[in-house]
Chain A
Protein backbone atom coordinates (compact mmCIF):
# COMPACT_ATOMS: atom_id res chain seq x y z
CA UNK A 1 0.00 0.00 0.00
CA UNK A 2 1.60 3.20 -1.05
CA UNK A 3 1.27 6.50 0.68
CA UNK A 4 -0.80 7.75 -2.22
CA UNK A 5 -3.28 4.90 -2.04
CA UNK A 6 -3.93 5.60 1.59
CA UNK A 7 -4.36 9.31 1.56
CA UNK A 8 -5.67 9.97 -1.95
CA UNK A 9 -9.27 10.52 -0.83
CA UNK A 10 -8.17 12.89 1.90
CA UNK A 11 -6.05 14.85 -0.56
CA UNK A 12 -8.78 14.95 -3.18
CA UNK A 13 -11.27 16.18 -0.57
CA UNK A 14 -8.76 18.72 0.66
CA UNK A 15 -8.01 20.02 -2.83
CA UNK A 16 -11.68 20.08 -3.82
CA UNK A 17 -12.52 21.90 -0.62
CA UNK A 18 -9.76 24.44 -1.08
CA UNK A 19 -10.78 25.03 -4.68
CA UNK A 20 -14.50 25.34 -3.93
CA UNK A 21 -14.10 27.56 -0.91
CA UNK A 22 -11.20 29.44 -2.47
CA UNK A 23 -13.09 30.30 -5.66
CA UNK A 24 -16.00 31.49 -3.59
CA UNK A 25 -13.77 33.65 -1.41
CA UNK A 26 -11.66 35.03 -4.26
CA UNK A 27 -14.66 35.35 -6.58
CA UNK A 28 -16.50 37.41 -4.03
CA UNK A 29 -13.45 39.59 -3.62
CA UNK A 30 -12.97 40.08 -7.38
CA UNK A 31 -16.55 40.34 -8.56
CA UNK A 32 -18.22 42.09 -5.68
CA UNK A 33 -18.00 45.86 -5.73
CA UNK A 34 -16.42 47.20 -2.60
CA UNK A 35 -16.90 50.86 -2.01
CA UNK A 36 -16.54 51.69 1.60
CA UNK A 37 -18.10 55.09 1.85
CA UNK A 38 -20.82 56.32 4.10
CA UNK A 39 -23.14 57.04 1.20
CA UNK A 40 -23.26 53.41 0.16
CA UNK A 41 -24.76 52.16 3.33
CA UNK A 42 -27.70 54.51 3.64
CA UNK A 43 -31.09 53.10 2.82
CA UNK A 44 -31.86 55.12 -0.32
CA UNK A 45 -28.66 55.87 -2.13
CA UNK A 46 -30.11 58.48 -4.47
CA UNK A 47 -33.27 59.40 -2.66
CA UNK A 48 -34.12 61.44 0.33
CA UNK A 49 -32.11 61.08 3.47
CA UNK A 50 -33.83 58.68 5.82
CA UNK A 51 -34.74 60.00 9.21
CA UNK A 52 -34.69 58.00 12.37
CA UNK A 53 -33.40 54.46 12.62
CA UNK A 54 -33.85 52.05 9.74
CA UNK A 55 -34.20 49.16 12.18
CA UNK A 56 -37.65 48.56 13.48
CA UNK A 57 -37.57 47.68 17.10
CA UNK A 58 -39.28 44.38 17.70
CA UNK A 59 -40.02 43.48 21.25
CA UNK A 60 -37.65 40.90 22.65
CA UNK A 61 -40.63 38.74 23.65
CA UNK A 62 -41.31 38.22 20.00
CA UNK A 63 -38.03 36.35 19.56
CA UNK A 64 -38.77 34.16 22.56
CA UNK A 65 -42.04 33.16 20.95
CA UNK A 66 -40.30 32.57 17.64
CA UNK A 67 -37.70 30.32 19.24
CA UNK A 68 -40.35 28.41 21.18
CA UNK A 69 -42.38 27.96 18.04
CA UNK A 70 -39.34 26.81 16.07
CA UNK A 71 -38.49 24.11 18.58
CA UNK A 72 -41.98 22.71 19.04
CA UNK A 73 -42.62 22.95 15.33
CA UNK A 74 -39.58 20.92 14.41
CA UNK A 75 -40.36 18.26 17.01
CA UNK A 76 -43.36 17.26 14.91
CA UNK A 77 -40.88 15.84 12.42
CA UNK A 78 -40.76 12.77 14.64
CA UNK A 79 -44.51 12.38 14.56
CA UNK A 80 -44.82 12.34 10.77
CA UNK A 81 -43.08 9.02 10.06
CA UNK A 82 -44.91 7.49 13.00
CA UNK A 83 -48.27 8.67 11.68
CA UNK A 84 -47.58 7.42 8.15
CA UNK A 85 -46.79 3.90 9.31
CA UNK A 86 -49.13 3.88 12.29
CA UNK A 87 -51.31 0.92 11.23
CA UNK A 88 -48.31 -1.36 10.64
CA UNK A 89 -46.63 -0.58 13.92
CA UNK A 90 -46.79 -2.79 17.01
CA UNK A 91 -49.05 -1.50 19.76
CA UNK A 92 -46.28 -0.24 22.03
CA UNK A 93 -45.34 2.27 19.33
CA UNK A 94 -48.48 4.16 20.30
CA UNK A 95 -47.38 4.38 23.92
CA UNK A 96 -43.89 5.46 22.89
CA UNK A 97 -45.41 8.37 21.01
CA UNK A 98 -47.67 9.21 23.96
CA UNK A 99 -44.55 9.28 26.10
CA UNK A 100 -42.80 11.54 23.58
CA UNK A 101 -45.74 13.96 23.50
CA UNK A 102 -45.81 13.90 27.31
CA UNK A 103 -42.19 15.02 27.38
CA UNK A 104 -43.06 17.85 25.02
CA UNK A 105 -46.02 18.86 27.16
CA UNK A 106 -43.71 18.79 30.16
CA UNK A 107 -41.59 21.38 28.38
CA UNK A 108 -44.71 23.39 27.62
CA UNK A 109 -45.78 23.18 31.26
CA UNK A 110 -42.37 24.44 32.29
CA UNK A 111 -42.54 27.34 29.83
CA UNK A 112 -46.02 28.21 31.06
CA UNK A 113 -44.99 28.18 34.72
CA UNK A 114 -41.97 30.30 33.93
CA UNK A 115 -44.35 32.84 32.36
CA UNK A 116 -42.71 32.67 28.96
CA UNK A 117 -46.09 32.39 27.31
CA UNK A 118 -47.37 35.68 28.68
CA UNK A 119 -46.91 38.82 26.67
CA UNK A 120 -45.78 41.27 29.28
Chain B
Protein backbone atom coordinates (compact mmCIF):
# COMPACT_ATOMS: atom_id res chain seq x y z
CA UNK B 1 0.00 0.00 0.00
CA UNK B 2 1.22 3.48 -0.76
CA UNK B 3 2.33 5.16 2.45
CA UNK B 4 0.28 8.11 3.66
CA UNK B 5 3.26 10.44 3.42
CA UNK B 6 3.24 10.23 -0.37
CA UNK B 7 -0.27 11.62 -0.51
CA UNK B 8 0.62 14.39 1.87
CA UNK B 9 3.70 15.32 -0.15
CA UNK B 10 1.65 15.26 -3.37
CA UNK B 11 -0.97 17.48 -1.81
CA UNK B 12 1.71 19.81 -0.45
CA UNK B 13 3.26 20.15 -3.90
CA UNK B 14 -0.12 20.76 -5.55
CA UNK B 15 -0.98 23.34 -2.93
CA UNK B 16 2.32 25.13 -3.51
CA UNK B 17 1.73 25.07 -7.27
CA UNK B 18 -1.62 26.68 -6.60
CA UNK B 19 0.04 29.37 -4.51
CA UNK B 20 2.57 29.84 -7.30
CA UNK B 21 -0.20 30.28 -9.82
CA UNK B 22 -1.99 32.81 -7.62
CA UNK B 23 1.21 34.80 -7.23
CA UNK B 24 2.41 34.69 -10.82
CA UNK B 25 -0.73 34.77 -12.98
CA UNK B 26 -2.37 38.07 -13.78
CA UNK B 27 -5.36 36.68 -15.60
CA UNK B 28 -8.38 36.34 -13.33
CA UNK B 29 -9.44 33.01 -14.81
CA UNK B 30 -5.97 31.53 -14.35
CA UNK B 31 -5.88 32.78 -10.75
CA UNK B 32 -9.19 30.99 -10.26
CA UNK B 33 -7.76 27.79 -11.67
CA UNK B 34 -4.86 28.06 -9.25
CA UNK B 35 -7.27 28.49 -6.36
CA UNK B 36 -9.06 25.35 -7.55
CA UNK B 37 -5.73 23.56 -7.48
CA UNK B 38 -5.25 24.60 -3.86
CA UNK B 39 -8.74 23.40 -2.94
CA UNK B 40 -8.19 20.07 -4.68
CA UNK B 41 -4.87 19.61 -2.90
CA UNK B 42 -6.79 19.96 0.35
CA UNK B 43 -9.35 17.43 -0.86
CA UNK B 44 -6.53 14.94 -1.48
CA UNK B 45 -5.44 15.49 2.10
CA UNK B 46 -8.91 14.84 3.41
CA UNK B 47 -9.43 11.69 1.39
CA UNK B 48 -6.01 10.30 2.26
CA UNK B 49 -6.53 10.93 5.97
CA UNK B 50 -9.96 9.41 5.73
CA UNK B 51 -8.70 6.28 4.00
CA UNK B 52 -5.84 5.72 6.41
CA UNK B 53 -7.03 6.92 9.78
CA UNK B 54 -10.77 7.00 9.85
CA UNK B 55 -11.95 3.96 7.92
CA UNK B 56 -15.30 3.51 9.67
CA UNK B 57 -16.60 7.05 9.54
CA UNK B 58 -15.26 8.39 6.21
CA UNK B 59 -15.82 11.95 7.43
CA UNK B 60 -12.93 13.12 5.29
CA UNK B 61 -14.57 11.90 2.09
CA UNK B 62 -17.76 13.73 3.00
CA UNK B 63 -15.72 16.85 3.66
CA UNK B 64 -14.10 16.48 0.24
CA UNK B 65 -17.55 16.26 -1.38
CA UNK B 66 -18.56 19.50 0.26
CA UNK B 67 -15.31 21.14 -0.79
CA UNK B 68 -16.01 20.19 -4.41
CA UNK B 69 -19.55 21.55 -4.27
CA UNK B 70 -18.50 24.81 -2.68
CA UNK B 71 -15.63 25.19 -5.13
CA UNK B 72 -18.08 24.81 -8.00
CA UNK B 73 -20.29 27.52 -6.54
CA UNK B 74 -17.31 29.83 -6.17
CA UNK B 75 -16.18 29.16 -9.72
CA UNK B 76 -19.63 29.81 -11.12
CA UNK B 77 -19.84 33.07 -9.24
CA UNK B 78 -16.33 34.15 -10.16
CA UNK B 79 -16.96 33.50 -13.85
CA UNK B 80 -20.12 35.54 -13.64
CA UNK B 81 -18.28 38.47 -12.06
CA UNK B 82 -15.45 38.15 -14.59
CA UNK B 83 -18.01 38.26 -17.40
CA UNK B 84 -19.54 41.38 -15.94
CA UNK B 85 -16.16 43.08 -15.76
CA UNK B 86 -15.20 41.84 -19.20
CA UNK B 87 -18.32 43.30 -20.75
CA UNK B 88 -17.39 46.69 -19.34
CA UNK B 89 -13.74 46.59 -20.19
CA UNK B 90 -12.94 43.71 -22.59
CA UNK B 91 -9.95 42.61 -20.55
CA UNK B 92 -9.70 40.28 -17.61
CA UNK B 93 -6.13 40.96 -16.55
CA UNK B 94 -6.30 41.76 -12.88
CA UNK B 95 -3.42 44.18 -13.36
CA UNK B 96 -5.64 46.28 -15.52
CA UNK B 97 -8.27 46.25 -12.85
CA UNK B 98 -6.17 49.06 -11.52
CA UNK B 99 -8.79 51.36 -10.11
CA UNK B 100 -8.39 49.41 -6.92
CA UNK B 101 -4.83 48.37 -6.41
CA UNK B 102 -4.31 44.62 -6.37
B94 CB to nearest chain A CB (Å): 17
With A24-B17, A25-B24 known as contacts, the answer to whether A67 contacts B80 (CB < 8 A) is yes
B20 x A70 contact (CB < 8 A): no
B16 x A20 contact (CB < 8 A): yes
Secondary structure of the B contact surface, majority rule? helix
Within B34-76, the residues touching A (CB, 8 Å) are 62, 65, 68-69, 72-73, 75-76
A32 CB to nearest chain B CB (Å): 11
Q: Is B10 an interface residue (CB 8 A)?
A: no
B83 x A17 contact (CB < 8 A): no
Residues of the A chain whose Cβ atoms lie less than 8 Å from the Cβ of B16 = 16-17, 20-21, 24
Residues of B within 8 A of A (CB): 12-13, 16-17, 19-20, 23-24, 62, 65, 68-69, 72-73, 75-76, 79-80, 83, 87
A21 x B20 contact (CB < 8 A): yes
Q: Is A31 an interface residue (CB 8 A)?
A: no
Complex Cα–Cα for A25 and B24 (A): 7
